[in-house]
Structure formats: C-alpha cells, structure tokens
Amino acid sequence: MIVPLNALRPGDRGIVVNILGGPTARQRLVGMGLTPGATVQIIESHQYGPIIISVGGVRFAIGRGMAAKVMIRKL
C-alpha cells in the first residue's frame, strides 16, 4: 500500500517510492536522504506541528505539507 509520509503513525516504517512536487521540494527532500528506496521511520507525529522521522539513523523534523509529497510503501 502506497501512502503519503504524513499518513504514517509513530513507529511505522516504510520505503520511499516517489517524491512529488517541484524541483525545489525534491532537492530539499533528497538532501534529507529521502530518496527512492530509502527506509524511513516515524518517530513522533502529533495532530499539529512537524513530524519527526528517522532516515538512515538520522532524525529530522519535516513539515506536514512537505511530508505529503513523499510517497511511501508501508512495511
């Protein structure tokens, strides 16, 4: 099942399958390690505010709008 990153819950893991959006958004996300094939885990996610994720053992805070551009295959 492929879902946007912001649809995952804390503890969920998935593999990046696609990044939507323009070149600037893609460049920012790729710079964070969110490339197709990368495994990502949701560390913290609340109703409002950024989502804390782990990619390759590194934690990032990502806005919900930006997270909606990352399509994930849920593991």
SS3 (DSSP) at 50: coil
Q: What's the pLDDT at 24?
A: 93
- Tell me the C-alpha distance between 20 and 66, whole Å: 9
In this structure, the number of other CB atoms found within 10 A of the CB of residue 21 comes to 15
Contact 37, 59 (CB under 8 A): no
Structure tokens at 23: 């070149």
- Tell me the C-alpha distance between 51 and 44, whole Å: 6
Q: What's the pLDDT at 47?
A: 87
pLDDT in tens, the chain (75 residues): 999 999 999 999 999 999 998 999 999 999 999 999 999 999 999 888 999 999 999 999 999 999 999 999 999
Per domain, the residue ranges of the chain are 1-72
Third-level CATH fold of 1-72: SH3 type barrels. (2.30.30)
